């Protein structure tokens, strides 16, 4: 590749990145502006909207709710999916085709339809959990399942699970010891990708959170919806803060994963 072609490709990449970043930069500018109306550039800059947001106890509580629900659903998914995937890949590989169909079933029913059914089932009776985090964790589990399953399944195919287990058996390890000490460390990257992908999707989920919990257990997206009629500068600061939280969690996860290599 010539120097001209290399610079051309770099220019195209930077141009695409700039186009993708323009909406976010505009939102950031509006969140920092004291006033931005008919002029091209804001008339002044201030941190007032960010300070007002992060001093709001309601925002901090909703952020904590979203984190608790997302990581609770992801932990539940990993504890259930990882052993099941290991058993399928090791003992019943023919079931993989059936699992690929089953994990897509949550997407076949619109969230609004699912929410109506869940409201009728869990609004009363012995298991009345609407308006609580438990029903959201269950719903988010079904949403995260396809992302987690596919990411880990691809990782299992890449590491050649059967050969790893056969090698561990030849060295005298039991199946479950080999799964814990050999297979699981090799799946760390796939698990991390699955968690980050699912987290970035779950923390932005609105329909289930609004219909099944609402203000009884307000999440970040419900808080943003309830604040939609407030100052546009305030909601812009909220959107930027939401983006920074996701970016921080992603960076922290990558940093911890890199430190274990």
Mean pLDDT along residues 74-99: 85
What is the spatial distance between Cα 232 and Cα 42, in angstroms, rounded to a whole number?
14
91 vs 52 pLDDT, higher one: 52
Ranges of CATH 1.10.3720.10 domains, the chain: 56-259
The H or E element that residue 204 is part of is: none
Residue 110 has what pLDDT? Answer: 84
d(CA 162, CA 93): 10
pTM of the model: 0.83
Among 31-35, 37-41, 198-202, 206-210, the range scoring the smallest mean pLDDT is: 37-41
Helix (H, G, I), strand (E, B) or coil at 160: coil
**CATH 2.160.20.10 describes domain 56-259:** no
The answer on pLDDT for 124 being more than 90 is no
The mean pLDDT value for 50-61 works out to 92
- Cα 199 from chain centroid? 1
- pLDDT category of residue 1 using cuts at 50, 70 and 90: low
3-state SS class at 69: helix
260 falls in which pLDDT band (50, 70, 90)? low
Q: How far apart are CA 103 and CA 92, in angstroms?
A: 17
DSSP state of 180: I
Highest mean pLDDT of the ranges 97-101, 106-110, 145-149, 208-212: 208-212
* Contact in structure between 140 and 205 (CB atoms under 8 Å): yes
pLDDT confidence tier of residue 258, bands split at 50, 70 and 90? low
**Torsion angle defined by CA atoms of residues 10, 11, 16 and 21, in that order, rounded to the nearest 10 degrees:** 100
33 bridge partner residues: 45
pLDDT at 57: 93
């Amino acid at each position: 590749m010539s120097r001209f072609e290399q610079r051309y490709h770099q220019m195209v990449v930077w141009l695409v990145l700039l186009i993708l970043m323009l909406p976010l930069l505009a939102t950031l500018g509006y969140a920092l502006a004291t006033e931005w109306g008919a002029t091209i550039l804001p008339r002044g800059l201030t941190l007032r909207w960010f300070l007002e947001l992060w001093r709001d106890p309601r925002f901090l509580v909703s952020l904590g709710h979203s984190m608790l629900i997302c990581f609770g659903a992801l932990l539940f998914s990993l504890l259930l999916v990882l052993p099941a995937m290991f058993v399928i890949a090791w003992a019943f590989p023919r079931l993989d085709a059936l699992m690929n169909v089953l994990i897509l079933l949550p997407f076949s029913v619109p969230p609004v339809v699912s929410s109506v059914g869940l409201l009728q089932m869990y609004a009363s009776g012995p298991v009345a959990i609407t308006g609580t985090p438990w029903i959201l964790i269950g719903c988010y589990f079904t949403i995260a399942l396809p992302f987690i399953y596919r990411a880990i399944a691809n990782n299992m195919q890449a590491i050649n699970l059967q050969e790893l287990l056969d090698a561990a058996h030849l060295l005298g390890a039991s199946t479950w010891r080999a799964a814990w000490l050999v297979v699981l460390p090799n799946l760390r990257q796939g698990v991390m990708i699955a968690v980050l992908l699912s987290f970035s999707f779950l923390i932005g989920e609105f329909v289930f959170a609004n219909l099944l919990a609402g203000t009884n257990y307000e999440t970040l997206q419900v808080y943003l919806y309830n604040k939609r009629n407030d100052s546009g500068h305030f909601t812009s600061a909220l959107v930027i803060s939401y983006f920074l939280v996701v970016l921080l969690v992603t960076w922290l996860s990558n940093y911890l994963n890199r430190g274990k290599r």
